[in-house]
Structure formats: structure tokens, C-alpha cells
Structure 1
Amino acid sequence: MKIVVEHLRHAYPNGYCALQDVNLTFEGSQPVALIGQNGAGKTTLAKHLNGILRPTSGRILIDGVDVATAQTAQWARKVGYIFQNPDDQLFLDSVRKEFEFGPHQLGVSDEEIEHRTTRIAELVGLEKKLDSHPFDLSPTEKKFCAIGSVLMMNTGALVFDEPTCGQDKIGNDRLAAIISRLKDQGKLCIAISHDMKFVTRNFPRVVLMRKGQVLLAGSREEVFARQEILQKAYVAPPPITRVAQEVGMAKPVFTVEAFTEVIRQAGQKGKERG
């Protein structure tokens, strides 16, 4: 799937301009993270990708077709959107019904829906909760119920709005596994996140936004190497990345293992020169 954003501008009815001349391309299956402070325009941008919001000017092309030419329900078949708050998304009286609703609207066969339900319930950790009411689930389980209901639609791209909000390590690990699975399936995953540890571990591509504009777009290494621009956007790299920068490492590192490997290699080179 290829999503092209051309000169996108969006002004809300109160006159606030949330996006200003945004130009981006999302393509292939490399996961992409949208980062920036509150008010940067991340969610406004994401909601344009399947027609939840419509441009004030500019356009969104999905596989060459302008989103403005079809209804939101039609684009929901191509781009799934998982809201930050699952209470905004869940409305039926069992997890199973939440999972089945979207595919039923698309005319998917009962056999295929059953197959998807089994597979996706296991992926999101709800295989034993299919007959539970979503509002009887824990906050983490509700989040994964919402994720599962969108995964059931089998869209080519998915947008996650703050997926790690309220998650513990187990939840974050499950999210990472889901993102990896989507990539392996050739699906495009776009996430809005303030969690820089999660971003740098799971998203090879990063878009940095501030005040409705794109400041940087590129690999995580390219983006997190630009310390002055990150500071301008009030985004702090993960702690291990900051430590590496403070001790003068030339390239960003995102894990303790990578940090120690750079130190080891530097020590080895020092011994060879000595």
C-alpha cells in the first residue's frame, strides 16, 4: 500500500489550523511512528488517512486514489484506525461480537470470520475472553479488544493512536509482536506515540512533527541524530540514547546492548592501536 499526503492543511471550525502544508509518503511495510508534543498535529494527520477528517486543502492519495472521492466507511476497508481510548470504539456486549462486527459488514463468510477470530484472539491474548463483555475487561484487555476488532478487518494499513498508553511491559511486548506480525504480512503500521523507548525499538521510520508541520522524516537513526531539532520539538530521546550522545558516540544507539557493543568495539580498537 502507498499513502501520499500532498500539501495537506486542516483548520478546525474554530479556526485553529492543526496542519500546515504537510507532505509525506507512507509506503511498503516498514512501521512508521509519528512523534511530537501534544498539539503537534499527529492525530489530526492520522485521522485523514481513512477519511475520519477531510482536508481543508491538499489531498490524501491511497494507491493513487483521492480519499475525498469515497465515504469514510469505504476507506475503513483499507486503513484501520485504533483509537487511544478503547471506550470510544467498543460498543457490543461481547469480545466475540466486537471481532465479528466489522467483517460481517464487509460480507466476509462465517467460516473466514471464525478462522480470523481464533487467530487474532490468540494474537491479542483474548482467546479465553471471547464471551466476556468488553467493559468487564481490564484496561489493557479492552485496549487489545479494540486492536483485535480492527485486525479482524484485514486492512492493508493500520493506525495505532498511543498504543502503549496504560500498558505494562507484558502489554508492550504483545504490541511489539503484533507490529512485527503486521510487517511480516506486508501491512503498513503507523503509530502515534510519546513513548520513545517503544518507538526506537519497533519503528524503523519516524516522522517528527511540531505545530502542524513536519520537521523531520526518515530512519530512526537519522531523526534521533538531530538533537537540535528534537529539542526544538520538545522531544527527548530514550535515556540510553541521551547517555550515548553525552559521551560522544557518533551514531544514535537505542538499547543497552548496542551501547555496550560500541564501547567494546572502541576498547578493541584502542588495544589494536596500542
Structure 2
Amino acid sequence: MSETQITCTKVGHTYPNGVEAIKNVDATIKQGEMVSVVGQNGSGKTTLVKHFNGLLKPTDGDIMIGDLNTRENPVGLLAEKVGYVFQNPNHQIFAASVHEELSFGLKNIGLNESEIEKKVQDIADEFLLTEYLELNPYRLGFSLRKTVGMASIIAMEPDVVILDEPTTGQDYSGVKTIKESMAKLKSEGKTVIVVSHDMPLVAEETDRVLVMCNTELIFDGPPADLFINKPILEKTNLKPPQITSFSEAKNFGDNKKAVLSVEDAIKYV
């Protein structure tokens, strides 16, 4: 696997209608990091991550994906390194069957038929999709369609996987599968970037949080630092996980790092 560092230098984006969506963003995401991007609706978080595989091009500054400047390279090339899983699967899925959907990207990266078939079977097993392979994805519920979209991107094994609101609309089983897949990607040295309003997911599954507020990056650090930072939480209206609030009320922890999980809270009982 190649080293695919994402480097943002003074990045800004103004849409053609004049709306400034992000400005002055400086950030570096190294290969193998588990990063979440959070903020209220309209803060700029989705606009930011859409720059990472060229879906959007910066109107100010530059973004480097490894040694590729996103201004100068097409989405097709950047997508080989950075896979993007859309929040709404209907914006991504188009094939007539789940099997075809999972196969499409693999064909585009030049795998032969036997390699494609093996990868399709493997990824279908991982995401519990085997029984749906011959069905049209639009015959599946929203949760399963999101799973198909995620599986189709991960099957191509990009260095970086972006998950836009992966747990929205998912049931318990779907969330469990997503968390397991994120852990597997991390174990393989992949970079995982999660855009999410799901604070327990952010707290428990990612190592670093980028907080967007009113088009700007205002915090970059570990979840344990974010969820104890009252000024940032109040400014962004972010709500810490319930276990974090409960632990604070019970005076668990050391008052320097937020308690992020039930397992951590039990240590103080």
C-alpha cells in the first residue's frame, strides 16, 4: 500500500453562487489515521471532505493527496487512492444488481474476472450481503443500500476511505458491521475519515477529531480533549456522548480527559 498523506494548505471553497463554504483550512491527515470530521449542518464538513477525492476543487489554497495536487488531477485518478461513500446511497448506486454494483469499481481498476469474483464474494461475506447479490439494490431497504455503497468502495481497497454519515439510518446490526469494518480497515493501515453527527461513534471509534464551525476548522485533537472542551462544545452545539455527560456528573475521570466509553467509566466505579 502506498503512503497517501492528505495535506490541506489554506484551503477555501466558494460555490458559483457566491456562498463561501470553507475558508483557510490547514490540516494534515497521515496514512493510517482514524479521523472524524464534525460540526453543525452548514459548517463546511462535507464540503471539506469532498475535496479529498476531487469531487470539489479548492477555489483557494491547495490539497495534496500523496504527491497529487487535486487541482491538477481528475476524480477518476484521485478515487483510486481515496474512496468516498456517500451519505445517501441513491447518489452512488446505479447497477442492476448488488453483484454488478460490487463488481463495477473492480473492473475499472483492471482486475480480471476471477479476481473480481473472489473479491465480490469476500466483500459480500464481510458485509452480510451474500443473499442479496442477485437483487436490484433499489429493492433493498435504505440501511442495506448504504451497506452496498460502502462495500463497493471498500472492495477496491483505496488507501483512504471516507464515510459520510455511515450510521445514519442503520439498525443495530448495520452499525455493528460498520464498526467492525472500520476496525478492519485500521488494522490494514488504511486511513478512515468519518463525517458524522454520531458522537458515540466519534468518541469510541476515531482517534482524532476535526471540528468545523462557520466554514473554519476550529479544533483538531483527540476526542477525549474535545468532549471536555466546554467553549468548543458550546460554540458548535455539539453534545458529548451520554456516558461522557454521566461520568462528568459523577466526577469520574481526572478532569483533563473526557470519559468516552462505558468500559472507561467502570474503571472509576
Cα offsets for 1:157-205 (capped at 9, x unmatched):
0111100110111111110001001111111110100010111111111
Kindly indicate whether residue 262 of structure 2 is the aligned counterpart of residue 259 of structure 1: no
CA displacement, residues 217-263 of structure 1 (integer Å, 9 cap, x when unaligned)? 11111222212211111101011111222344412111222112123
Measured after TM superposition, the shift of residue 215 of structure 1 is: 1.0
Q: Secondary structure at the match of 2:169?
A: coil
User: Contact 2:259/2:265 (CA < 8 Å) preserved in 1?
Assistant: yes
Other-structure match for 1:30: 33
> Are 1:226 and 2:223 matched, yes or no?
no
Q: 2: distance between equivalents of 1:256 and 1:145?
A: 31
CA contact (8 A) 2:224 2:260 kept: no
Classify the secondary structure of the residue corresponding to 2:177.
helix
Structure 2: distance between partners of 1:183 and 1:7:
28
Distance 1:199 1:171 in 2: 16
User: Counterpart of 1:132 in 2: which secondary structure?
Assistant: coil
**Which residue does 1:53 correspond to in 2?**
56
Which secondary structure state, in structure 1, belongs to the residue aligned with residue 131 of structure 2? coil
2:85–2:163 Cα contact (<8 Å) kept:
yes
Q: Distance in 1 between matches of 2:249 and 2:44?
A: 30
Distance 1:255 1:195 in 2: 14
Give the root-mean-square deviation of aligned CA atoms.
1.1
* Mapped partners of 2:6, 2:179: distance in 1: 23
Percent of matched pairs sharing the same residue: 35
Q: Which consecutive unaligned segments of at least 5 residues does structure 2 have?
A: none
CA–CA separation in structure 2 for the residues paired with 1:10 and 1:68: 12
TM-score by length of 1: 0.93
User: For residues 21 and 98 of structure 1, what CA distance do their matches in structure 2 show?
Assistant: 37
2:175 aligned to which of 167, 172, 189: 172
> 1:65 and 1:75 mapped to 2: Cα distance?
8
The alpha-carbon deviation at position 122 of structure 1 amounts to: 1.1
Matched residue, 1:266: none
Displaced runs of 4 or more, over 4 A: none
TM-score (ref. length: structure 2): 0.95
What does 1:22-171 correspond to in 2, within 5 Å?
A: 22-171=25-174
Secondary structure of residue in 2 paired with 1:262: coil
Distance (whole Å) between structure 2 residues aligned to residue 197 and residue 185 of structure 1: 23
Q: What SS does structure 2 have at the residue aligned with 1:69? A: coil
Query: What residue identity is the alignment partner of 2:187?
Result: D
| Deviations, residues 99-133 of structure 1 (Å, cap 9, x unaligned) | 11111122111121112111111111101111111
CA distance in 2, matches of 1:245, 1:5: 35
Paired residue secondary structure (1:217)? strand
- Tell me the matched-pair count: 263
- Which residue identity lines up with residue 39 of structure 1 in the other structure? G
Q: Which residue of 1 aligns with 2:189?
A: 186
Equivalent residue in structure 2 for 1:202, among 198, 201, 205: 205
Alignment-mate amino acid for residue 177 of structure 1: E
SS in 2 for 1:68: coil
| Structure with max Cα Rg | 1
Give SS of 2:268's match: helix
Kindly provide the CA deviation profile for residues 64-119 of structure 1, in whole angstroms up to 9, marking residues without a partner as x.
32111211111111101111110111111100000111111221111211121111
Partner of 1:271: none
Higher mean displacement: 189-198 or 104-113: 104-113
